[in-house]
Amino acid sequence: MVRNTKATRFTLLLLALVLILGAGTLHAQDVVTINIAVKSASEVVTYRKAAEGFMKENPHIKVVIDELGRDGYTERIRTLLLTGSSDIDIVNFTNGEVGAFAKIGVIENLMPYFDDPQANTYGITPGMFLDGPRAALSIDGDMYALPYGTSTLLLYYRTDLIENPPKTWDEFLEIAKQFTKSHNPNSPTEYGTTIQGKRQSTAMREFAAYLWSFGGDIFDQDGRVVVNSPASKEALAFWVDLYRQGLVPPDVTSYEYGQVVEAFQQGKAAMVMQWDAAAGSFADPEQSPLVYDKLGVAMAPGKELADGTVLHVPYLQSWAFAINTASKHKKEAFQFLSYFNTPEKYLENMHANDSTALKDVLEADGFKEGRVHYEAYKESLQYGRAFPSSHHMDRIQNILDFSLARALSGEQTVDAAMETAAREIQELLDNE
Amino acid sequence: MRLAKLRSWTSNGLIWVYILVTLFPIYWIVSMSLKPEGLITRLPPVFVFKPNINSYIQLLSGDFLPILLNSLVISFSTLTISLIVGTLAAYSIARYNTGGEWLTLVVLVVQMVPPMVITFPLFILIRRLGLIDTRLGVILAQLTYTLPFVIWTMKQFFGQIPIEIEEAARIDGASDTRTLFSIMLPIAMPGLVSASVFTFLRSWNDFLYPLILTIRKAQTVTVAASRFVTVQDVLWSQVGAISTLIIVPPILFTVLLRRRIVEGLVGDSVKG
Amino acid sequence: MSKHELQKGTISPLRGRNRTLAFQVLTVFPAVALVVLVIGYPVYYLVSLSFTNVSAFNLLNQSYRWIRFRNYQKLFNDPIFLRAIAHTLGYALGTVGVQTLLGFWLASAVYRMSRLQKTLVTTLLLFPTMVADIAGALVWRPLFDVSTGVLNYFIKALGFSTVNFLGDPILARITVMAVAVWQWTPYMFLFVLAGMESIDTSLYEVAKLEGASSRVVMTRIVAPLIRPVLLVAVYFRITDSLRVFDKVFVLTGGGPGSATETISTYIQRTGFANMEYGLASAGGVVMLGIAFLFGLISLKLVSAYND
């Protein structure tokens, strides 16, 4: 009997202790951790700074930026999202993929979060974003991701060699010939320009400006596939011709960002189409000692129309931040996003190479400062277009990318390449 | 005599030429890590420059050390487990033909599976075991290709040893395990060393499995290295630095083991 | 009893069948269990996926269907896939062939060196294999550039015209193979060397006395004797090469066009990039099938020799 009483008393004491301690911890505010998976890029510096700034103002939320390398990034993100992993709360990808993720149902529709004061603690609205990026990340009007920055391909040229940057593709062609040694032995540069021809990289994005300004497209207004329209084929023929005529280095089929930057920095090409983010490197005396003081930037050339006007349609793209449907801290995640996209905070946290998707930031002095490409960039945003947000988009990109590669290398004629692409895109749509 | 000497000189000379040529990219990687960014891609290539170790400082003061630790732990564990489990199995198969053709086939097939296509199901399996983003998860995955390799390699080396040696040991009363450790292993040392070097290497340089199975805690150096290649920038000097740091442990490992193999030879065992 | 009279065989169990059986099971079981468990499920999954139309779009809502051999039909009806298989086989056999030849040459020269030189040279020779695929391809890429690469810089300086390492369809294939040879020859070298050192030195002495040239020594004596070991090395190199991805992806992306398309870049492009997991799995099964064939061949060769 005695033993039982002692045991009982002991157990009761223990229980009480546990309850007190448990209750104690229950009362303390739990620290919520949000994990953000981002692809390695120069913007990561900005994300980290923003994370720190946010944590200062919101001490009960911990923001961890998981920087995942570029190689296999897409695979990792998809695996994490598709297996319903709650290890990542916010994912980062380019706008072309948002349609697919939304359709599959692994990213959240953000509209309710805008209206929820517990999530939208910094009071952002969809209207704060530039129309292009906003539309690119919206499906039937609902935003499924918030755009970070708007990237575009600009025309960088040597001011000591080219007085007036080409406004039309024809002018572009002429200047390219003028500065290619094989066409003009007196040319100070080896090649007039470059192409980013590597497969599964930038080719399709670079080609988009050509495609659209020539009047071609992937779909027409009625949703019919028109990559094999005469205008689309003409655009491809023009692009491929730059390679055929030797106006670009012979190994552009393996060219992506790094190679183009080097070609320009080393004075091998007189003008190049490259992302706006390269402006910083090009203007930096340490990184580009040969050309930093001879840098000119313009909007991508356009097609001269019958009435004499020039149609420019630069390609636009945004990084997107979306919330994982399997996340356990969605409201907190949106809190961070609302902080990040507040114009004042954005300006505070961004760094010199960043672009923007916020209207107010685009006009702000803080943004104009030090951006040698500002005018060209702003113009590009005005006339530019992004890929539609359909869930077919990234598969269509793959199809076109391969056709472009085959046309460029001469494995297929321009005609055959576009016909193949059209057929495959149609098959894709039919299989739905 | 003179002709032989000349032949040996030319042969040695050619070997050194081969070495210089094949070491050039490695020299390039190391020099990249020490050059300031602007000089790296300059042509004509700059061979004489003032080395700076900024990239290394940046790397080491970042989160590189824990990542390096991960790689070391994973690779050594994989190596140790593979050697122990694999050599035992190899001995058994070599001497007793355990499992017959069927087992050898299974071991073969398993090793052939292309990692790339099983990333998804492997992720799910490791997740079910609760081992995502852990070192053990990566080790388990790596064992699937290191074990078959060790088993097969050691099986061949054991198979080459004449039975008489073992029979002699048995007559002297040695047990299976005793025979294995005191007699067979020393003789098969060259094979063991080769197997070790390449097992460690495969595990150390593995990119795909750590990529898929880790997120932040158990990252390895190869996965971390891919962070420096971005669409916007290839930070060459950091790529160089991390690549150099990645090369160092395998090289150390090889250097240490190389002496063992030569010792194994000279101090030897079975002659005539 | 000299080593070169190799005898393989099984020992008669000395201390009773049970004891030996226990030993056998204990030693083999962990290996098999580990390997089968971790690979078994994924392979089963892989094969079953290959008969479905699973993609990211029908995975979660479970609306995927069993489509039997349609994936395989799609693959084999695509000339690019067939070309990829041809490229991959050519790549595997070509690179391993050259690696083996070079390995023999290197081992034969190094074998005769003094201990100190041998140690030094072997260590240096092994360096290329130390470099991870990622780092290697990444570093090689800019070296091959036509306008800004170091290699072409020297080629031009010597008065030749530039070599389009990565942009010419045929050269691109050779370039990728060259990088593989650079990287893995040390592997074959080490195996041949290890094999050579397992052979009784008296054989070499006899050969020397009879005035045999090193080529004869290598082909008539060494090669046959180290055949089992060599076959293992070759087998692993070939199956590894069949899977080549990183090198190709970083250097050429599979291009120009489809000139350097391998089975894995094909699967990446048509399967993974499109989130078509059924199709990707079918491609994987084909890859596994080809590797399996090579495995069977190697196995037959080894056991034929041992009998």
Rank B76-80, B90-94, C13-17, C126-130 by mean pLDDT and report only the highest.
B76-80
State whether residue C176 sits within 8 Å of chain A by CB. no
State whether residue B129 sits within 8 Å of chain A by CB. no
- Chain B partners of A96 at a C-beta cutoff of 8 Å? none
pLDDT value at residue A1 = 43
Find the range with the poorest average confidence among A37-41, A197-201, A425-429, B104-108: B104-108
Count helices and strands (H / E) in chain B: 14, 0
Q: Give the β-pairing of A271-275 and A146-158.
A: antiparallel
Strand locations in C49-197, DSSP E? none
Cβ-defined contact of C131 to B148 (cutoff 8 Å) = no
**Among A195, A299, A186, which Cα is nearest to A247's?**
A195
pLDDT value at residue C5 = 34
Task: Give the mean model confidence (pLDDT) for residues A333-347.
Answer: 94
Q: pLDDT digits over A65-112, tens only?
A: 998 887 788 888 998 999 888 999 999 999 999 999 999 999 999 999
Tell the residue number behind the tokens 């020992």, with chain if given: C11
Give B164's pLDDT tier (boundaries 50, 70, 90). confident
Q: A129 pairs with which residues across the strands?
A: A358
- Which one is predicted more confidently, C10 or B55? B55
Cβ-defined contact of B271 to C202 (cutoff 8 Å) = yes
- Chain C partners of B226 at a C-beta cutoff of 8 Å? 134
Q: pLDDT digits over A148-164, tens only?
A: 999 999 999 999 999 99
Among B129, B156, B247, B268, pick the best mutation site for testing chain C contact (most C Cβ within 10 A). B156
State whether residue A198 sits within 8 Å of chain B by CB. no
State whether residue C148 sits within 8 Å of chain A by CB. yes
- Which one is predicted more confidently, C139 or A265? A265
Residue A401 and residue A199 in contact, taking contact as beta carbons nearer than 8 Å = yes
Cβ-defined contact of B215 to A41 (cutoff 8 Å) = no
**Residue C245 contacts by C-beta under 8 Å, 6 or more apart in sequence?**
B116, C262, C264, C265, C268
pLDDT value at residue C130 = 82
**Residue C56 contacts by C-beta under 8 Å, 6 or more apart in sequence?**
A78, A82, A100, A104, C275, C277
Judged against a pLDDT cut of 80, whether residue B182 lies above it is answered with no
DSSP H helices, A297-392, are 330-340, 343-349, 359-363, 365-368, 374-383
Judged against a pLDDT cut of 60, whether residue C13 lies above it is answered with no
Q: Which of B38, B211, B232 sits opposite A76 (nearest CB)?
A: B211
- Which one is predicted more confidently, B59 or A406? A406
Q: Give the β-pairing of A303-304 and A310-311.
A: antiparallel
pLDDT value at residue C137 = 78
* Percent of chain B topping pLDDT 70: 85
Q: How far apart are CA B214 and CA B223, in angstroms?
A: 9
**What H or E segment, with its residue span, contains residue A39?**
strand A32-39
Q: pLDDT digits over C192-244, tens only?
A: 888 887 777 777 778 777 777 767 777 777 777 888 778 878 888 898 899 88
Cβ-defined contact of A41 to B232 (cutoff 8 Å) = yes
Q: pLDDT digits over A16-51, tens only?
A: 555 554 444 444 457 889 999 998 877 888 999 999
Looking at the complex, report in whole angstroms how far the Cα of residue C26 sits from the nearest Cα belonging to chain A.
37
Torsion angles phi and psi, residue A156, rounded to 5: -100, 135
Looking at the complex, report in whole angstroms how far the Cα of residue A239 sits from the nearest Cα belonging to chain B.
22
**Largest Cα–Cα distance in chain A?**
110
List the 254-273 stretch of A: residues with Cβ below 8 A of B. 256-258, 262, 265-266
pLDDT value at residue C18 = 63
Q: A320 pairs with which residues across the strands?
A: A93, A147
Give me B4's structure tokens. 């032989």
Tell the residue number behind the tokens 């092994």, with chain if given: C126
Other residues' Cβ atoms within 10 Å of the Cβ of residue A229 = 18
Give A425's pLDDT tier (boundaries 50, 70, 90). very high
Q: Which chains touch B (3 or more CB pairs under 8 A)?
A: A, C
Give me A83's structure tokens. 């297996």
Q: How far is CA A366 from the centre of its chain?
A: 22
**Among A121, A244, A265, which Cα is nearest to A180's?**
A244
Q: Which chains touch A (3 or more CB pairs under 8 A)?
A: B, C
Q: pLDDT digits over C243-273, tens only?
A: 888 889 888 888 798 999 999 999 999 998 9
Judged against a pLDDT cut of 60, whether residue A15 lies above it is answered with no
Cβ-defined contact of C143 to B25 (cutoff 8 Å) = yes
Q: How far apart are CA A26 and CA B267, in angstroms?
A: 68
Give B268's pLDDT tier (boundaries 50, 70, 90). very low
Is residue A316 classed as helix, strand or coil in its secondary structure? strand
Q: Which chains touch C (3 or more CB pairs under 8 A)?
A: A, B
Torsion angles phi and psi, residue A150, rounded to 5: -130, 120
- Chain C partners of B112 at a C-beta cutoff of 8 Å? 239, 288, 291-292, 295
- Classify residue C13 by its DSSP letter: P
Cβ-defined contact of C147 to A398 (cutoff 8 Å) = no
Looking at the complex, report in whole angstroms how far the Cα of residue B191 sits from the nearest Cα belonging to chain C.
6
Q: Which of C2, C13, C38 sits opposite B143 (nearest CB)?
A: C38
Cβ-defined contact of C255 to A191 (cutoff 8 Å) = no
- Chain B partners of A77 at a C-beta cutoff of 8 Å? none
Q: How far apart are CA A326 and CA A107, in angstroms?
A: 8
Cβ-defined contact of C134 to B225 (cutoff 8 Å) = yes
Q: Which of B208, B212, B229 sits opposite A70 (nearest CB)?
A: B229
Q: Which of B43, B120, B226 sits opposite A266 (nearest CB)?
A: B43
**Among A224, A243, A223, which Cα is nearest to A182's?**
A243
Q: pLDDT digits over A272-300, tens only?
A: 999 998 998 899 888 888 999 999 999 99
List the 236-255 stretch of C: residues with Cβ below 8 A of B. 236, 239, 242-243, 245-246
Q: Give the β-pairing of A138-139 and A315-323.
A: unpaired
**Among C296, C300, C294, C272, which Cα is nearest to C284's?**
C272
A128 residue type, one letter: M
Q: A311 pairs with which residues across the strands?
A: A303
List the 150-179 stretch of C: residues with Cβ below 8 A of B. 150, 153
